[in-house]
Amino acid sequence: MRPFLLILSAPTGAGKTTIARALEGSRGDSVGFSISATTRVPRPLERDGVDYHFFSREEFERRRSAEEFLEWAEYGGNLYGTLASEVDRIQAAGRHVILDVDVQGARKIRKRRDDAVMVFILPPSAETLLERLRDRGAVSPADLRRRLEHAVRELDAIGDYDYVVVNQERSLAIQEV
Ligand code: 5GP
């Protein structure tokens, strides 16, 4: 099978990153995770080059001018982007590429690539989403509010997606994706 792009989008806290990492862990020979670049500050336990490529705003903008990104978007005051080199590296190894991007990024990729499959991950309820966001200690009340408002707006884009998976039970959701 020709390697394709698997775009996973979800409100933060829906469990998308866990699903993406589990897929990579269990099927590492056939799928690879595209590590995004961001100007956001690393959370505790996040590692540069593993969770994200953490760039300064200057470095991000320089690479953006050099057209190194397949897509980029601004989210919560920070820049996020997919490096074309990441996608190429994974596809060159004959593996499908998992991309964890927001709805703006997903739209841009779909326009540029005809080999993208788009999956939207939903939390089982608004309460669960709130709980999961709160469990991330680093989230301030202002940040929480921004992320929740953003989540509600992102839901409007759900019709763009090929599949919707509800993350009620993690192992089931992984299997479905
Ligand atoms: P977080 O700060 O919680 O890691 O991510 C915030 C949002 O940015 C999430 O919706 C995530 O999917 C999105 N995101 C992460 N990487 C990228 C990327 O490379 N491009 C775009 N457009 N969004 C991204």
**pLDDT tens-digit profile of 15-37?**
888 899 899 888 878 999 999 99
Sorted by sequence, the CB contacts under 8 Å of residue 167 that are 6+ apart come out as 10, 14, 15, 16, 19, 121, 122, 123, 124, 173
Is residue 8 helix, strand or coil? strand
Q: Which of 33, 7, 10, 49 is nearest to 132 (CA)?
A: 10
Q: Which of 155, 152, 147, 157 is nearest to 110 (CA)?
A: 157
CA 48 – ligand 1 centroid, Å: 15
CA 40 – ligand 1 centroid, Å: 10
pLDDT given for residue 32 in this prediction? 94
pLDDT over threshold 70, residue 173: yes
Return the bridge partners of 37, or none. Answer: 53, 81
Of residues 74 and 132, more confidence is placed in 74
State how far the Cα of 143 lies from the Cα of 133, in Å rounded to an integer. 10
19 lines ligand 1 (CB under 6 A): no
Q: Which atom of ligand 1 is nearest to the CA of 105?
A: 22
17 lines ligand 1 (CB under 6 A): no
Q: 98-152: per-residue pLDDT in tens?
A: 999 999 999 999 999 999 999 999 988 888 888 877 776 656 888 888 888 888 8
Q: Among 1-5, 102-106, 155-159, which stretch is predicted with the lowest mean pLDDT?
A: 1-5
CA 70 – ligand 1 centroid, Å: 14
Sorted by sequence, the CB contacts under 8 Å of residue 9 that are 6+ apart come out as 16, 100, 101, 102, 103, 105, 106, 118, 119, 120, 121, 154, 157, 161
pLDDT given for residue 48 in this prediction? 98
Name the pTM for this structure. Answer: 0.88
pLDDT given for residue 126 in this prediction? 83
Q: Which of 52, 54, 44, 55 is nearest to 138 (CA)?
A: 44
Q: Which atom of ligand 1 is nearest to the CA of 82?
A: 19
Return the bridge partners of 9, or none. Answer: 120
CA 78 – ligand 1 centroid, Å: 9
State how far the Cα of 4 lies from the Cα of 168, in Å rounded to an integer. 26
State how far the Cα of 126 lies from the Cα of 155, in Å rounded to an integer. 12
pLDDT classification of 172: cutoffs 50, 70, 90: very high
